[in-house]
Amino acid sequence: MGLIVIPKVLREKLGEDGSEALIELMKEVDLSSRKEAIVIAEERFERRLTEEVGKINERITEEVRRINGRISEEVSKITERISEEAGKLRVEIAKVNERITEEVGKINDRISEEVSKINERITEEVGELKVEIAKINERITEEVGKINERITEEVGKINERMTEEVAKINERITEEVGKINDRITNEVDKLRIEIEKLRTEVERTKASLIKWMFIFWVSQLLAIFSFLKFFLR
């Protein structure tokens, strides 16, 4: 409130005391009006503040609701995406398992085929060896038959000439028999050597086949383990 000045005319009529009283009264009135104005302003401010706070609370509630709704939508989208990715992953895992099963089946089939081929080859080799042995036995039988025939012929000749040269025939028979025995012995020894060579060759062939079968199985097992290790990674 500014300085209150009482006009001179009024001051003269009221006097100094009346003027001072009037000034005090005006000050009180001004102070009272100010207090009322402050109260009214405070009430209006509180009312406005309450309204603004209510609006802010409503806006916050709406924003929170919108954010919750958006979060729910995003969570549902993420959940759906996770479900889709999990489904795709399951499908891929199933495909990988099927592929592994197919590859293992192919490897087993190939191993069975190789083993069958090896068994067939062994059977063929053994059959060929049996044929060779049978031929050798036939040859031995033929040679023995020829020798027996020759012995029979020589014995017939000796019997015809027995009356003339018994001693010579006995000596010659002895010599011929010795030669024949030596020849038979030599032939038998040769045949035994051939048979031993054939047996040695058969043993070598069997050892080689066993070695190659072992190498084949080891390489196949290593390939299977490497293949499984690669897919398990």
Amino acid 6: pLDDT: 60
Amino acid 197: pLDDT: 82
Amino acid 136: pLDDT: 78
Enumerate residue ranges in the chain where pLDDT < 50. Answer: 1-2
| pTM score, whole prediction | 0.29
Amino acid 7: pLDDT: 62
Amino acid 221: pLDDT: 79
| 66-to-55, 74, 79 alpha-carbon distances in Å | 16, 12, 19
**Are the C-beta atoms of 191 and 140 separated by less than 8 Å?**
yes
Amino acid 44: pLDDT: 80
Amino acid 162: pLDDT: 66
Q: Following DSSP, what letter does each residue of the chain receive, concatenated?
A: -------HHHHHHHHHHHHHHHHHHHHHHHHHHHHHHHHHHHHHHHHHHHHHHHHHHHHHHHHHHHHHHHHHHHHHHHHHHHHHHHHHHHHHHHHHHHHHHHHHHHHHHHHHHHHHHHHHHHHHHHHHHHHHHHHHHHHHHHHHHHHHHHHHHHHHHHHHTTTT-HHHHHHHHHHHHHHHHHHHHHHHHHHHHHHHHHHHHHHHHHHHHHHHHHHHHHHHHHHHHHHHHHHH-
Amino acid 11: pLDDT: 65
| 91-to-80, 98, 104, 173, 232 alpha-carbon distances in Å | 16, 10, 20, 95, 16
